[in-house]
């Protein structure tokens, strides 16, 4: 059985930065944002269910999901976000389980599930241990505005749909705070990787 390590935290906190360090130390990483994209490719049963609820307005001309439009709907309206999650989470979890069963059967230091909605989706139950990355809200806002080219309102809407620090920290064995320069987070992640490798 592969060792499964959950990696979670708020948008812009620094999960990808940490998962890149863990990858460089021999851990395999499943990026659940990318899994969510895969399960909503054109023609998939998940995308069909989403259009049944949200309408075909969420599709681009080439039948792919208009992510920006869906984001503008669900991050403004908690009820719609819950509907999206009630449809998509089961597909995401099935794909994660499939990858763990088929791809990571072999030699691995561990599989990292990089998932902003690790607890909300129930994927935390697949994990042996959990790392949270936290950072002050104003830093997260600035980071995602720059990274995703979104305005203040869109950044705040996304942030507001997530939880406060304590939600993540009290459910995690390891907490990394990313309130300094990125190199500091990388150093903390390197240290944690050492610790995880020692515990193998």
Ligand X SMILES: CC(C)(COP(=O)(O)OP(=O)(O)OC[C@H]1O[C@@H](n2cnc3c(N)ncnc32)[C@H](O)[C@@H]1O)[C@@H](O)C(=O)NCCC(=O)NCCS
Residues within the interface to ligand X (CB under 6 A): 11, 32-33, 36, 67-68, 70-71, 74, 81, 84-85, 88, 92, 115-117, 121, 158, 161-162
Nearest distance from C-beta of residue 49 to ligand X, angstroms: 12
* Nearest of 13, 51, 63, 46 to residue 188 by alpha carbon: 13
| Residue 6 in the binding site for ligand ATP (CB under 6 A) | no
Distance CA 71, CA 53 (A): 15
| Residue 143 in the binding site for ligand ATP (CB under 6 A) | yes
With CB under 6 A as the rule, give the number of residues binding ligand ATP. Answer: 18
Q: Give which of ligand X, ligand ATP, none residue 176 binds (C-beta under 5 to 8 Å, depending on kind).
A: none
Which one of 6, 15, 121, 141 is in contact with ligand ATP (CB under 6 A)? 15
Nearest distance from C-beta of residue 178 to ligand ATP, angstroms: 5
The binding site for ATP consists of: 12-17
Nearest distance from C-beta of residue 69 to ligand ATP, angstroms: 18
Q: Give which of ligand X, ligand ATP, none residue 88 binds (C-beta under 5 to 8 Å, depending on kind).
A: ligand X
| Residue 31 in the binding site for ligand ATP (CB under 6 A) | no
In this complex, which beta carbon is closest to ligand X, that of residue 73 or of residue 197? Answer: 73
């Amino acid at each position: 059985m592969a060792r499964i390590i959950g990696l979670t935290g708020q948008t812009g906190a620094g999960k990808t930065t940490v998962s890149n360090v863990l990858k460089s130390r021999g851990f395999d990483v499943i990026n659940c944002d990318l899994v969510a994209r895969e399960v909503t490719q054109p023609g998939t049963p998940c995308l069909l269910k989403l259009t049944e609820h949200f309408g075909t307005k969420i599709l681009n001309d080439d039948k792919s999901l208009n992510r920006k439009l869906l984001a503008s709907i669900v991050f403004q309206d908690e009820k719609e976000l819950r509907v999206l999650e009630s449809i998509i989470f089961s597909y995401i979890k099935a794909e994660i389980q499939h990858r763990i069963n088929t791809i990571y059967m072999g030699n691995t230091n561990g599989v990292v599930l990089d998932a902003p909605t690790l607890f909300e989706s129930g994927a935390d139950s697949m994990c042996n241990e959990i790392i949270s990355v936290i950072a002050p809200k104003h830093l997260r806002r600035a980071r995602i505005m720059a990274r995703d080219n979104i305005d203040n309102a869109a950044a705040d809407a996304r942030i507001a749909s997530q939880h406060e620090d304590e939600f993540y920290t009290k459910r995690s064995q390891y907490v990394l705070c990313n309130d300094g320069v990125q190199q500091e987070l990388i150093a903390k992640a390197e240290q944690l990787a050492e610790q995880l490798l020692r515990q193998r």
